[in-house]
Structure 1
Amino acid sequence: MNGPELQEHARARVQELPGAHLEHPFGPEWEVFKVVEKVFMLMTFSTGEPIVILKADPEESKALQDEHEDITPGYHMNKKHWITLHPSGDLSASLVEDLVTESYLRVVDNLPRAKRPVDPATFGQGTQ
């Protein structure tokens, strides 16, 4: 998947996530996606390539990095809790969408129950 496709798939998935919204707190070159004011995804071209940065479980993050050369530790983020997706043919659209959803749900799960736009335990299982 090339860079514009990578970011396009990630952006399209965000549009399907309840309560998710886009901000530009670091200028126009950074797209910052939040749910209830907590960041779950960033996108930029500032590295010279279009990348997507997502929150991830530390153990899953390591496995993903071992399996995909186009997944690296989070650019300008905590390397243990964030990953960066780089454009190439290695990452499928479904994997990108799943990783965006996982990042969103990790953030939602840490929100106070009253502020959660979805129940992270049942989201995507037809109960929402």
Structure 2
Amino acid sequence: MNIEEFREFCLSKNGVTEEFPFNEDTLVFKVKNKIFALTSLQKWEKGDYSVNLKCNPDLAVELREKYPDDVLPGYHMNKKHWNTVHIQFTQLSEKYIQHLINHSYELVVSQLAKKVREELKRL
């Protein structure tokens, strides 16, 4: 999965916006103003094809153990809840990467107020 495929997949989710809230390098994807994915464009330019995704804490540990070269504790993030996932030149399939993005999105959505979740379903 390249950066454009990653971007398009994230933006295909209901209620998702993209922005650069921290600096011109860090591309952030939010649902209802809550971050579920982010990546450094400079790292992509240097060949580090990774993204940060939110993750259930138990699953985060399991993924890091199963894929130690491709799933790492979240870079500059709360390492209990975030993973850095290599999404290009990786042993992870594109379908599985999409699953991890979906998991991150759904985890954030599940923490939103019920009214907001209902609004998202109608989009």
The normalised TM-score by structure 1 is: 0.82
* Counterpart residue number, 1:22: 18
2: CA distance, partners of 1:63 / 1:6 = 25
**RMSD between superposed Cα atoms in Å:** 1.9
* Counterpart residue number, 2:121: 118
**How many residue pairs are counted as aligned between the two chains?**
116
Where in structure 1 do 4 or more consecutive aligned residues deviate above 4 Å?
Answer: none
**One-letter identity of the residue aligned with 1:106:** L
* Counterpart residue number, 2:7: 11
| 1:53 alignment partner, SS class | strand
The alignment-based identity, stated in percent, is 34
Deviation at 1:46, TM superposition (A): 4.0
Q: Any unmatched runs of 5+ in structure 1? A: 120-127
Superposed CA deviations along residues 34-69 of structure 1, whole A, max 9, x for unmatched, are 001000000114444132100000111111111112
The normalised TM-score by structure 2 is: 0.85
Give the structure with the larger helix fraction. 2
Paired residues of 2:70 and 2:92 also in contact (CA < 8 A) = yes
